[in-house]
Amino acid sequence: MSLKSFIEVSPDSHFPIQNLPFGIFQPKGGKPRAGVAIGDLIADLSVLEDLGHFRSPEFRGRKVFSEDSLNSFLALGRPAWRKVRAVLERLLSSKTPILRDNARLRARVFHSQEKVTMKLPVRIGNYTDFYSSYHHAHNVGTMLRGPDNALMPNWKWLPVAYHGRASSIIPSGADVRRPSGQTKPADAPRPSFGPSKSLDYELEMAFLIGPGNSLGDPVPIGRATDHIFGLLLMNDWSARDIQAWEYQPLGPFLAKNFATSISPWVVSLEALEPFREPLPRQDPAPLPYLRGKDDFTFDIQLEAQLQTSSMKTPHVITRTNFQNLYWSISQQLAHHTVNGCNLQPGDLLASGTISGPTEESRGCMLELTWRGANPLKLPNGEIRKWLDDGDRLTITGWCQGDGYRVGFGEVSGRILPAE
């Protein structure tokens, strides 16, 4: 770890100079603008831009960091993203005096994370949710169809997905109202209407689209990373009883689109590079358009924590890893565009629930409690089959480096009672 900042960052912080994740923040009395997290602080990119630090040709003289979303910056593409990162590494380095030795300038540039409001990082036009964890698909399939027919015949041939709803994607910290809807227990003669009785979380990660492609112009797998800016954490809140009654034959609808929470900081592929791992061999070998040279995944440790209203501290209920995904992000993007579908800057493509092979690595209550059959026993004696009103669910994730972490912060939300 040779790179060091003049800003003090503790070894367990998610935001050392090796990370530099991008987000949109709003200081008290100010407008939303772009920033990068460093330790407990945020560097205000709109101020650095005004001072002329981002003048590479890709910007064509435009100012992108005073906008209230990262969309314009994402549209610029990887050469511009790399240049901005290089400028920030230099400005924040312990060896560079510009900010380090100028208290007045530092006061303009840095904000305390505690004192600002984090907004959604992008304006999301379209949101897609994949179903890419083998163990999640296998567990859910086993519950529905038994272990012999757990995976549908298409699952190992293409990254299965559905189109989600972008308008109900909310920032971390926003409360989630328990949805009401139509449900029908198997033994009931007809459906009834009321608050969901089986509210769940789904531990997921998602990536954001950069420049994107024109309609009719697929992105070959070898060019996929040109269009992937970075990753964030996501909780795909799910109402299992509503889902069970509505999902056939067209897939999830009202069981999912009442709320989807995302973390405020977007970690770039550049920051994740040291944690890259080869994608495990796939059997059967995928069709050629899904076969990437040196396809990869990342070693990202992931946790879900539950805190009920009577618990003093959160309790970890899921421990999993991004490497538990069968399909890579490049495969997801290549598949999404192979028919000519156009992706646009700020589109969100999510992984699906990330479950691993062990019981503790299951990424949702549906699997952890096996549809309520084995309730979770919490340290204070409380029992949960599903999420209760007042429960707070927090997902966090990080890559462990040698003496530092490249982390994603967290995505958190609390359940409010139905209206």
Residues that bind Mn ion in the complex, under the rule CB under 5 A: 129, 202, 236
Question: Please, what is the minimum distance in Å from the beta carbon of residue 163 to Mn ion?
Answer: 12
Distance (Å, rounded) from C-alpha 82 to C-alpha 90?
12
Question: Please, what is the minimum distance in Å from the beta carbon of residue 350 to Mn ion?
Answer: 6
Distance (Å, rounded) from C-alpha 217 to C-alpha 341?
8
Burial (CB count within 10 angstroms: exposed 0-12, middle 13-18, buried 19+), residue 340:
exposed
Nearest to 241 by CA among 175, 180, 177: 180
The answer to whether residue 136 is catalytic is yes
CB-nearer residue toward Mn ion: 141 or 401: 141
| CB-based contacts of 279, cutoff 8 Å, min separation 6 | 292, 295, 296, 297, 328
Question: Please, what is the minimum distance in Å from the beta carbon of residue 257 to Mn ion?
Answer: 11
127-130 and 161-163 as β-strands: parallel, antiparallel, unpaired?
Answer: antiparallel
Question: Please, what is the minimum distance in Å from the beta carbon of residue 236 to Mn ion?
Answer: 3
Query: Containing H/E element for 87?
Result: helix 78-92
Query: Containing H/E element for 137?
Result: helix 134-145
CB-nearer residue toward Mn ion: 202 or 391: 202
Query: Taking a C-beta distance cutoff of 8 angstroms, is the pair 109, 264 a contact?
Result: no
State the amino acid at position 158 in one-letter form. L
CB-nearer residue toward Mn ion: 18 or 261: 261
Half-sphere exposure of 58 (CA within 13 A, CB side): 16
Phi, psi of 316 (to 5 degrees): -75, 125
Strand partners, 385: none
Question: Please, what is the minimum distance in Å from the beta carbon of residue 130 to Mn ion?
Answer: 8
> Within 10 A of 310 (CB to CB), how many other CB atoms are there?
10
Question: Please, what is the minimum distance in Å from the beta carbon of residue 352 to Mn ion?
Answer: 5
CB-nearer residue toward Mn ion: 204 or 270: 204
Termini Cα distance of the chain:
51
Question: Please, what is the minimum distance in Å from the beta carbon of residue 91 to Mn ion?
Answer: 38
CB-nearer residue toward Mn ion: 161 or 272: 161
Question: Please, what is the minimum distance in Å from the beta carbon of residue 201 to Mn ion?
Answer: 10
CB-nearer residue toward Mn ion: 235 or 394: 235
What residue is closest to Mn ion based on CB? 236
CB-nearer residue toward Mn ion: 202 or 347: 202
Distance (Å, rounded) from C-alpha 369 to C-alpha 346?
35
| CB-based contacts of 197, cutoff 8 Å, min separation 6 | 183, 241, 386
Query: Per the residue annotation, which of 14, 111, 136, 335 is the catalytic one?
Result: 136
CB-nearer residue toward Mn ion: 88 or 368: 368
Distance (Å, rounded) from C-alpha 234 to C-alpha 325?
15
| Four-residue CA torsion sign, 217, 340, 229, 68 | positive
State the amino acid at position 254 in one-letter form. L
169-171 and 260-262 as β-strands: parallel, antiparallel, unpaired?
Answer: parallel
Catalytic residues: 136
